[in-house]
């Protein structure tokens, strides 16, 4: 009689990811910086308001925003502004 041995399956291992490059480190260090968050918040909020309010009247090289383009531009920029604003709000210093 032959004995049957249970085969053990080994979990698949991921290939080692390369270490982050200098550029990736720079980008990751800039994103949570307060001045960058303030810029993202103010710039994107201003563009969202401008696109939503007067997007069809803004002319850039003969192009304007109409209809769904205007709505989606305002919504997208507004979402980025809300994200940056939330990050600023959550990182504010607590007063004792």
Task: Name the β-bridge partners of 63.
Answer: 60
With respect to residue 26, please indicate whether it lies within any of the assigned structural domains: no
pLDDT digits (tens, 9 = 90+) for 2-21: 555 555 566 667 667 777 78
With respect to residue 62, please indicate whether it lies within any of the assigned structural domains: yes
Domains of the chain: total: 1
* Domain assignment of residue 59, given as a range: 33-90
With respect to residue 79, please indicate whether it lies within any of the assigned structural domains: yes
With respect to residue 45, please indicate whether it lies within any of the assigned structural domains: yes
With respect to residue 16, please indicate whether it lies within any of the assigned structural domains: no
Decide: helix, strand or coil at residue 43: helix
Q: What is the pLDDT, as a whole number, of residue 76?
A: 95
pLDDT digits (tens, 9 = 90+) for 36-92: 899 999 999 999 999 888 877 777 778 777 888 889 989 999 999 999 999 999 887
Q: What is the mean pLDDT of residues 26-33?
A: 70
- Nearest of 83, 90, 18, 16 to residue 45 by alpha carbon: 83
- Nearest of 77, 17, 68, 83 to residue 50 by alpha carbon: 77
When pLDDT is cut at 50, 70 and 90, the band that residue 31 belongs to is low
Which own/partner pairs from 17-25 qualify as long-range (CB within 8 Å, at least 24 positions apart)?
A: none
With respect to residue 70, please indicate whether it lies within any of the assigned structural domains: yes
With respect to residue 65, please indicate whether it lies within any of the assigned structural domains: yes
């Amino acid at each position: 009689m032959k004995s049957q041995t249970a085969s053990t399956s080994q979990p698949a291992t991921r290939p080692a990811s390369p270490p982050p490059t200098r550029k990736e480190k720079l980008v990751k260090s800039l994103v949570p910086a307060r001045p960058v968050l303030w810029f993202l918040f103010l710039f994107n909020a201003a563009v969202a308001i401008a696109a939503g309010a007067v997007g069809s009247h803004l002319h850039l090289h003969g192009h304007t925003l109409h209809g769904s383009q205007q709505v989606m531009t305002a919504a997208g920029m507004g979402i980025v502004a809300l994200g940056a604003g939330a990050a600023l709000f959550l990182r504010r210093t607590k007063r004792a």
